[in-house]
Amino acid sequence: MLVSPFSLGTWNLVAAIARGNPTFDLQDAFFAFVIVGLLILAGRSIRQKLKILRILYIPSSIVAGVLALLLGPQVLGQWFDPDSLLGGGLFSEDVRNVWSQSPGVFINVVFAALFLGETLPSPRDIWRKAAPQVAFGQSLAWGQYVVGLVLTLFLLTPIFGMSPIAGALIEIAFEGGHGTAAGMAETFVDLGFPEGGDLALGLATIGIVSGIVSGILLANWGRRRGLVASVRLEPASVEEPYETEIARQENPDIVAARKRLTQDLLIDPISLNLGFVGLAIAIGWLMLEFLKAIEAATWGQNGLTIVGYVPLFPMALLGGIAVQGMLARLRLTPLVMRSLMERIAGVALDVTIVTALASISLTALGANVVPFTVLALAGIAWNVLAFVFLAPRMLPTFWFERGLGDMGQSMGVTATGILLLRMVDPHNRSGAFESFAYKQLFFEPIVGGGLFTAAAPVLIVQFGATGVLLLAGGLLVFWLVLGLFVFGRKVRSLQE
């Protein structure tokens, strides 16, 4: 289908050129997402009926994605003749084509909304409250790179012939989660490692399950050993449990200001907030294109390409921070409703997870089962050992609660960390939730789906696994020294 420049604005024309001619029409996309909605309902029902899924706190979107995979051509379709009605499973090729392209699109919405509607305190105040947790969280992330790259250099590449990019999979899958793993799939293909996306999604699933299981086991161990210090404190208010701290009501002044600003707009609040998400993504796209232009005019002329392979979603995150800062300067922050932003991001993340898992290649996982298992076990071992040995030496107060939250995030998603925090400190007596939340401002833009996460595979291709290992190792040493010998002094002084 040809696209006329006169039928599109500049933005649509650029987008159409970037993605090429579509292989499906709008009706295909509509029914593809209708089916996603039905799968999520089915996943919710299955989750409610299977107690083990509730015990492990497996999200309904993951259940729905696995269900879509089982009902697709790789499982159900294998039982029938390829030319029969069910040879491709229950879903048509057009629907599967929509799904295969959805994760790389919807992940941009998730990251654009991450900081929209959040109050951005000064970096000094944030650092003062969250510095030890930043050091511990960064140590976990850079350690995942070091472990993965060492395994790749000495085992996975020489023995199994895997691409050196495999050294970044633990951090991409464990710290980044399903959304980041899905968003990186196209980058893996461009870099000649097409199975990387499937391996990352598989590792992300292992990460979230093992994170919850190991977190539950460690929480019980900590209670028996008396390591959960918050249980010895009285809650600030029995009427305000941890859930209320997370879902607290908005300030009446903000509500009044929003009503005043929107009284003549005649626009639905969710449409307005979607507009800000779109603005954040647009700013992120402009940032990325600007960086690509700089690269093309400088080091790119010598054949070194880094920014060209970076996906849009980490730049969308920066775009969201820019929009939030701009709204704060213009005194228009009441227009953004954080509760709506969380709902928008939640829907986008559900779609990302379901469609990514539905599109995962079981063939790629089966062909790399040993390297996959090695990476999974090594990632789990690093995170658990780092929690047991580093957290008590780096976090001056309530190390168990704060460290467990970071460990949960480093093996799944932010929600996993919050879940484990709630298990050991349901009334937020330790104040760990605030430190955990502030830490994200120093964490998300860099690792866990941030700029370095997106650039790591490209850097490995351009500079080699050894070069990136030296960089990651140096940063790991920096954060370990900061945590053990700067913040660790506070730990020792409190123990004396």
How is residue 371 written in tokens? 């390297």
pLDDT at residue number 159 = 93
Q: Each residue of 290-335: pLDDT tens digit?
A: 988 988 888 777 777 777 777 787 788 889 889 988 988 888 888 8
Helix (H) or strand (E) holding 262: helix 252-262
Q: Each residue of 437-485: pLDDT tens digit?
A: 677 777 777 887 778 888 899 999 989 999 999 999 999 999 999 988 8
Kindly calculate the radius of gyration of the chain based on its CA atoms and give it in whole angstroms: 23
Neighbours of 112 (CB within 10 A): 32
Neighbours of 26 (CB within 10 A): 8
pLDDT-above-90 percentage for the chain = 25
Average pLDDT, the chain: 80
pLDDT at residue number 318 = 86
Contacts of 94 (CB under 8 A, 6+ apart): 24, 28, 32
Neighbours of 333 (CB within 10 A): 22
Maximum alpha-carbon separation in the chain: 75
Q: Each residue of 474-489: pLDDT tens digit?
A: 999 999 999 888 887 6
- CB 432, CB 408: distance < 8 Å: no
Question: How large is the average pLDDT for residues 386-391?
Answer: 92
Contacts of 103 (CB under 8 A, 6+ apart): 179, 182, 183, 185, 352, 355, 356, 359
Between 223 and 18, whose confidence is greater? 223
How is residue 472 written in tokens? 């990651």
Neighbours of 238 (CB within 10 A): 8
Report which residue type is found at 317: L
Q: How far is the C-alpha of 140 from the C-alpha of 164, rounded, in Å?
A: 21
Q: Each residue of 125-178: pLDDT tens digit?
A: 777 777 888 899 999 999 999 999 999 999 999 999 999 999 999 999 888 887
pLDDT at residue number 128 = 74
Q: How far is the C-alpha of 59 from the C-alpha of 495, rounded, in Å?
A: 40
Model confidence at 393: pLDDT above 70? yes
Angle between helices 338-358 and 195-225 (to 10 degrees): 120
Q: Say how many residues make up the chain.
A: 496
Q: How confident is the model at residue 2 (pLDDT cuts 50, 70, 90)?
A: very low
Q: Each residue of 225-263: pLDDT tens digit?
A: 888 887 666 554 434 444 434 444 556 656 655 566 566
Q: How far is the C-alpha of 353 from the C-alpha of 106, rounded, in Å?
A: 10
pLDDT at residue number 9 = 38
What secondary structure letter does DSSP report for 21? S
pLDDT-above-70 percentage for the chain = 83
Q: Each residue of 329-361: pLDDT tens digit?
A: 888 888 888 888 888 988 888 888 888 788 877
Which residue in 401, 459, 409 sits closest to 430, CA to CA? 401
Q: Each residue of 38-76: pLDDT tens digit?
A: 999 999 999 999 888 887 767 788 889 889 989 988 888
